[in-house]
Amino acid sequence: LYNEGLITVPEGVLKLQIGQEGEDVIRVELRDRDLRLPQRRTLTSGCGGGITFVDLAAAREPLNSSLRVTVGQISSLMKRLRTIIADDRHRIGGFHAAALSDGHQLSIINTDIGRHNTLDKVAGECLTRNIPMQESILLTTGRISTEMLGKAARMQTPVVVTLNSPTNLAVELANQWNITLIGYARGTKMHVYSGWQRITPPNKRQRQSHRPLPEHRLQDFCATKKAPSLTYTP
């Protein structure tokens, strides 16, 4: 509800009722009953099927953030997330994870079969535990689509990092919304697609290259733009 812009605080939910056994329904009564919901919806293709409101996601203001991060921080945080979920991934597989970090530790970690749902869970936990999402780093194992980036923008997290790729449209929106978008953050390498101003310049132990990413046929399946690649040597 928060990530879709239907509430701004937990108190926006007046009543919540979970359906009885065998009934996959959750009934929610909102405090603001005069909501003007957008008429156009996009049903995402992610497992678990998150529904997003295109009109709400398209009206974002650029984020104003002074957060700075290093390549070493990003590499370390993603490695930590992968380590934490490694056993479950090996035992179960088939799920995604998302985490929120202040740059030093992973404050919140959530998993779900749907990548969209992991961001919703992180946002919900932040609201209920009164944890600020601004000036934070959002990490995910899932591909960054326009819907995923819209949720990150709603959470006001200026840095978004994924193990996988962003889509072309997500890269364009990241530039428009002033979000630092980092993809393929695996091991000591990562691609920075937007928001270079938040990345601390490489030192002598880091090297920078400008190799193009592989081209893909589907425009909104993987980002096809040439992105600089930062390599971190610990």
Measured distance CA(158)–CA(133) in Å, rounded: 9
Of 6, 30, 47, 213, the catalytic one is 47
137-140 and 96-101 beta bridge pairing: antiparallel
- Mention every residue, 6+ apart, whose C-beta is less than 8 A from residue 92: none
How many C-beta atoms lie closer than 10 Å to residue 124's C-beta? Answer: 16
The secondary element (H helix, E strand) that includes residue 85 is helix 71-91
| Spatial CA neighbour of 69 closest among 157, 130, 145 | 157
Is position 47 annotated as part of the catalytic site?
Answer: yes
Cβ atoms 85, 117 nearer than 8 A: no
| Spatial CA neighbour of 56 closest among 15, 7, 126 | 7
Q: Which residues pair with 180 in a beta bridge?
A: 159
Cβ atoms 215, 224 nearer than 8 A: yes
Active site residues: 47
